[in-house]
């Protein structure tokens, strides 16, 4: 327990396969393969547009959060 900083209380046959696994579960592997295939089909221009759109949405969201924090602190 000390070596894992309290994360694994007992190192037994029940938890060893999950903690020492080096290969993902088959469903996760399939999802990753699908995502990789989908990403390869998108053109560079389309990907750049999606990135810019996502960045704009994130910036707007961060602005709203900051505004709410300032208003809650002042009021």
Per-residue pLDDT tens over the stretch 17-70: 666 777 788 899 999 999 999 989 999 899 999 999 999 999 999 999 999 999
**65 assigned to some structural domain:** yes
**13 assigned to some structural domain:** no
pLDDT at 1: 65
CB atoms within 10 A of CB 68: 10
**CB 8, CB 2: distance < 8 Å:** no
Where is average pLDDT lowest: 2-6, 32-36, 69-73? 2-6
**57 assigned to some structural domain:** yes
The reported pTM is 0.51
Structural domain containing residue 53? 40-74
**68 assigned to some structural domain:** yes
pLDDT at 51: 95
Total structural domains within the chain: 1
């Amino acid at each position: 327990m000390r070596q894992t900083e309290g994360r694994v209380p007992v190192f037994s046959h029940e938890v060893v396969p999950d903690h020492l696994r080096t290969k993902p579960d088959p469903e996760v592997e399939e999802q990753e393969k699908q995502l990789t295939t989908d990403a390869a089909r998108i053109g560079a221009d389309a990907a750049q547009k999606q990135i810019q759109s996502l960045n704009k949405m994130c910036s707007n969201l961060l602005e709203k959060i900051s505004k709410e924090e300032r208003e809650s602190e002042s009021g």
